[in-house]
Amino acid sequence: MKKFKEIEKLDDKARVEKMKELKIELIKKGIAANRQNKGKTKEIKKAIARLLTVQTKPSLENK
């Protein structure tokens, strides 16, 4: 997954698309119930958190 600075450079549309892609991938991993590959699930969750952080950052700076 991309680093925080790379995510910041994406435009809003690209971030939304990436978020959708990651959520679908997370659902697929959950359905597969592959307990041996918890690292990948954790990595996906962290990427989603990074995207959400970048999305809320402008609203936090205005306060």
State pLDDT tens for residues 5-55.
888 888 889 888 988 998 888 888 776 656 667 778 888 888 888 888 888
pLDDT at 54: 86
Task: Give the residue numbers spanning the domain of 19.
Answer: 4-58
Q: Specify the pLDDT at position 12.
A: 85
What's the confidence (pLDDT) of residue 1? 57
The answer to whether position 54 is within a domain reads yes
The reply to whether 39 falls in a domain is: yes
How far is C-alpha 53 from the chain's CA centre? Answer: 9
Tell me what pLDDT residue 59 has: 62
pLDDT of residue 10: 84
Query: Does residue 63 sit within a domain?
Result: no
| 35 falls within a domain | yes
Residue 15 falls inside a structural domain: yes
User: Does 16 fall in a domain?
Assistant: yes
Q: How confident is the model at residue 3 (pLDDT cuts 50, 70, 90)?
A: confident
**Which residue's structure tokens are 């790379």?**
6
Whether 19 maps to a domain, the answer reads: yes
Give the count of domains, the chain: 1
